[in-house]
Chains A and B, each alone.
Chain A
């Protein structure tokens, strides 16, 4: 074949060539002519000529908006090519490539592949150093899950911190100007403090004095913090649902898993661009619990309820159908860390309970107060009952604390009796304990619920020749800082009220002493949390002083026996109490049981029954934890 022959198209019969004329509009064919002519023989193609033979050829014909191939491309693609369906349709329709559409896709890819949040703009504003797993979780929620996620870390790993990071990042970037945080009533204060102290974020607490003063609190910009129980009631529910939110955070979100419940209906009615559901146990009894939560975060993501049941069954057991598929899908909507995988190793809690037999004068005083409280409680107004409850709690702390309250309430005889008790056996045991620890170089934080008891202990400690720093709510911020600094420095003892139970980190100390015990175990947990927390490197010793025959002794015995209070990991107590009753007011329950009981035997029986409820809740929690652990993968990011 010579060069001159090249390009000559005599349409060999062996080739099947369809040379179809174009109706116009194709520059390429002109160019083809031109180029062909440049290298030898001009091409003359006969429209419609269809030689028979080997090799499929196609024709181009004008079509609406472009050119179509003839024979047409198949419009239906097999299932394994379904990802191409939309694109292939456009090609088959003869649509030409449009440069601007291509540029737009390039732009969209740039946006999609760089969802932002490469760095946390909020980091410099934080007043603490988040753990790597917390930052990873927040980044995953922001980048991969685009702000709608289930945060399901095991208890104690910092779901609140992770949610706070997401919140502050969205808030500071002005992506979320109106945020609503719904939490159990007992955690409102804790959330408010965390957001203020750790993230420096201003929060409007629903129902607070400032809230009540605001003209339109539900529609004002900012962060609203409220208890789920309060907001689900009319008219709050309606107002919250009418408002446009940018971000909604639901803590302890397992409480909204039942779609028929008022809480779930409320959450479903809230309109929000971003949504965070926080729970350590997204699956409780039924696999559908998980479905319901995901349905809130990403409606339709797991299909319809019937499809979900068909695919995975309904029982949350380890033999869930297609568990791997479910786990894989969950990775797109859920972040879950386990204690074993993060760089957070909490040391052990070692607890000792020192049961102290009171001196006769102390015991007599306590018995007189018990009788007085029981006598006055029946028929007392709610306000009076609050006063009586305080009196009973003071009786468990110290005669000094009791004295002032008795005087103020006009119980002068009892007040005189209290004033006559100048020392207590518990104080003596405390001093011995402090001397032992100080001698071995330990730092000890001593907690009491009452200022007067604090003063009393300060005197006794000083008289024993021990150096202590005192910390209470009436100190100025500077004085508080100085007290903590001196405890961290040369003073081995910190005497403190609950004020230090909130927000102060005392990880440098690893001995904690409960001089008196709150009735509410959550308060005990908060005290413990100041010391036994991330950053603590040594085992923590908790010594609790309990007067024999007191309400505290009975409550404490139940907590120890039924839920092994000090063996719980941070956050687990919440999970247990939440299962006994939503927003359980533990202290009121104890006081009601106490005053409703004719004597201590009956009170003990009532507490025992309550203890059984707690034990059942603990078992339920542990079962749920195991179920979640087996079913849900760890999803670090």
Chain B
């Protein structure tokens, strides 16, 4: 086992009240009663990751599969890693309002619409959810991989990989030391955010599952061929035996042949079912990351019509947060329609006041301009 795994176990024990002393290749751990019970270990336990040290000195070898290690990992994963976190305000000066507006016009596509500033930019914190999930892919084989998604905490729109890289590299704010002042925070919508994150994770898992299924195709073809050959031989042998069998045994052999044919059909169906990779996602980390940002209210104009919208510039990333359709929350490009602003799909639907979805954050109808 790697020393990293031993290090993990010692850290876990220490957090749970144990103390330990490193002594060369082994550590002497004093476990509190709860951990003694959980691991089935005595109060004083010498542990090592080195098989030779374990063999010579009698220290407990914490090697892969050891239940003490697995129980610690299971307990930590069950508790997970959750909380909120502020990113530090970036040192470089933020873009000017003119630049921000120019970038909005350059980067954000709004069909039939022109983006105009509708107010001053406001420094804010934008909540993002950062979700890390353990993805288990199971078919013929089983794999476990990690998938991570950062999504807008208001809408659930997933951030693109470049943005995620910048955010992951951004420094968190210094720990508390002096009293702060006031902070405006764009209100998170946790349910929407988690649903968006989950959808993004699922989409990735489906893509990965398809890749894995493609990789397994060759082996499955071989397996299907083997099964075909096996049953063909079995049926030939039964036919041969039937030819020379006494009349009273022939019905028995016929029944065996019928059972063999139905078993063959089942087997082949099962083999083809193996190509379908199932996945299971288990979230183990949920961080609400509050990212320094600039909030810019804009009007999207189509002729005389104006549709209010808010844009958020993520300062550590240097890009806008994903713009979503105010009706469905989808990430499709916006269209300034004759009656409303939305994605092409939503605009194609007739307006039905009774069934209209509540507007998503960032968008709404502004009173018509002059």
Contact = CB atoms under 8 A, between A and B. Distances in A.
Given A3-B96, A57-B184, A636 B140 contact: yes
Given A55-B310, A73-B188, A112-B74, A30 B194 contact: no
A636 B15 CA distance: 40
A413 interface: no
Given A31-B88, A84-B194, A21 B181 contact: yes
Contact of B83 (A3, A6, A95, A174): A95
Interface string B78-104: 111111111111100110111011000
B242 to A, nearest CB: 13
Contacts of B145: 113
Given A33-B181, A55-B361, A108 B186 contact: no
Contact of B227 (A12, A14, A273, A341): A341
Q: Which of A8, A46, A58, A633 has the most CB of B within 10 A?
A: A58
Interface in B284-301: 284-288, 290, 292, 294, 297
B106 interface: no
Q: Which of B70, B173, B190, B233 has the most CB of A within 10 A?
A: B190
Interface stretch (A99-107, A352-360, A515-523, A527-535): A99-107
A340 B141 CA distance: 18
B103 to A, nearest CB: 13
Contacts of B121: 1, 6-7
Interface stretch (A74-82, A189-197, A502-510, A596-604): A74-82
A109 B146 contact: yes
B173 A56 contact: no
Contacts of A147: 65
Interface string A608-637: 000000000000000000100110011011
B217 interface: no
Contacts of A34: 89
A25 B310 CA distance: 30
Contact of B185 (A30, A38, A43, A60): A60
B68 to A, nearest CB: 10
Given A19-B182, A45-B181, A105-B77, A67 B84 contact: yes
A410 to B, nearest CB: 49
Contacts of A112: 70, 73-74, 77, 134, 144
Contact of B65 (A36, A116, A633): A116
A299 interface: no
A328 B297 CA distance: 51
B11 interface: yes
Interface residues on B, range: 35 or more
A629 B64 contact: no
B292 A35 contact: yes
B286 A174 contact: no
A140 B142 CA distance: 9
B198 A81 contact: yes
A632 B185 CA distance: 54
Contact of A77 (B4, B194, B362): B194
27 contacts: A5-B97, A14-B118, A27-B175, A27-B177, A27-B178, A28-B88, A30-B178, A45-B181, A55-B186, A56-B361, A57-B185, A58-B185, A58-B187, A77-B194, A81-B194, A83-B282, A100-B11, A105-B77, A107-B11, A114-B64, A142-B65, A143-B65, A174-B55, A174-B61, A273-B67, A340-B231, A345-B233
Interface of B: 1, 4-5, 7-9, 11-12, 15, 51, 54-55, 61, 63-67, 69-70, 72-74, 76-90, 93-94, 96-98, 100-101, 117-123, 125, 127, 131, 134, 138, 140-142, 144-146, 154, 172-191, 194-195, 198, 223, 226-227, 230-231, 233, 237, 259, 263-264, 266-267, 270-271, 278, 281-288, 290, 292, 294, 297, 308, 310, 361-362, 364
Return the 9 tightest CB-CB contacts between A and B, nearest first.
A116-B64, A29-B180, A107-B8, A45-B182, A90-B82, A25-B176, A87-B286, A58-B187, A108-B76
